[in-house]
Structure 1
């Protein structure tokens, strides 16, 4: 049996982050942290070095999830990003795709999709 996938969740909405945490834990993943903004996300991801980051695009700040992903990938290139966002505009999706995430999901996301993404 392989070790549990280590996951950090980044979403500025507390209820969504809680829901994603439950999905991850129910799938057998270990949630090593939850962040709601850019500074805390960077500190947590760089400190915990998770296998996966479930990342929202819009974080209610000047910088967003793509900015976080770029900074993390420059230091931890093996980190897998799964974007879970409500932003489905072409420019937003193109911006997300620029960091080559493992997956992009538009909210609301079926729990099975998250579980499957974490098994890759």
Structure 2
């Protein structure tokens, strides 16, 4: 994608939507539209085709998780950032599993908000891998899902090793150090894993590592 992304803001609080719109517009990021609940969000995404959706989790009529699933099913190239509160909403794990590229706290700084939108629009995950891992550990342990029988045979032994380390929250630099590889080689392995397993970004890779049993949630 070239240029700044077009953003859809979804929140049932008008004040939040207005504040985010002002922040993004001031930094040259176009706000394509707003929605006050999940139903409006799905309709707006269909009509406006935004690059990034800022999606509140808890809303009337249709919550952010259900709306995320519907939007990404219809527009897989779209990126969704979940908006949550400081206490880490219990739906975060499910949102990441549904394809969301990360989450932001609603009291995010203006600079972090703009940077996050731009980062996600390039196809990267918003969260640092270690933060994603902690979130997944917390909520995967609560949900205790049975291992997902996903076919990992397309992966080479090295790629399987890289995916496992991704699940443990390693950054590219840490992967390079752990495996004795250059960061460029690590990036190539990661990109191939995403392609072979049809993964959106690192957040989904971490979730998949847990769901397939490559990584087990730590004891709580």
For normalisation by structure 1, the TM-score amounts to 0.89
The separation in 2 between residues aligned to 1:19 and 1:29, in whole angstroms, is 13
Alignment partner, residue 21 of structure 2: 21
1:89, CA displacement in angstroms? 4.1
- What does 1:44-59 align with in structure 2 at a 5 Å threshold? 44-59=44-59
Query: Which structure: greater strand fraction?
Result: 1
1:45, CA displacement in angstroms? 0.6
User: CA RMSD for the aligned pairs?
Assistant: 1.6
- The verdict on how the C-alpha distance between 1:81 and 1:96 changes in structure 2, with shifts beyond 3 A counting, is same
The separation in 1 between residues aligned to 2:111 and 2:98, in whole angstroms, is 24
1:103, CA displacement in angstroms? 2.3
Alignment partner, residue 36 of structure 1: 36
Query: Which structure: greater helix fraction?
Result: 2
Say whether residues 1:91 and 2:90 are aligned partners.
Answer: yes
Higher mean C-alpha deviation, range 50-59 or range 98-107: 98-107
Q: Which has the higher contact order (CA 8 A, sep 6+)?
A: 1
Alignment partner, residue 68 of structure 1: 67
- The verdict on how the C-alpha distance between 1:70 and 1:87 changes in structure 2, with shifts beyond 3 A counting, is farther
Preserved CA contact (<8 Å) 2:45 2:71? yes
The separation in 2 between residues aligned to 1:96 and 1:88, in whole angstroms, is 16
The separation in 1 between residues aligned to 2:115 and 2:28, in whole angstroms, is 11
Write out the 4+ residue segments of structure 1 that deviate beyond 6 Å after TM superposition.
none
Q: Based on CA coordinates, which of the two structures has the bigger radius of gyration?
A: 2
Q: Is there any run of 5+ residues in structure 1 with no aligned partner, and where?
A: none
- The verdict on how the C-alpha distance between 1:67 and 1:87 changes in structure 2, with shifts beyond 3 A counting, is farther
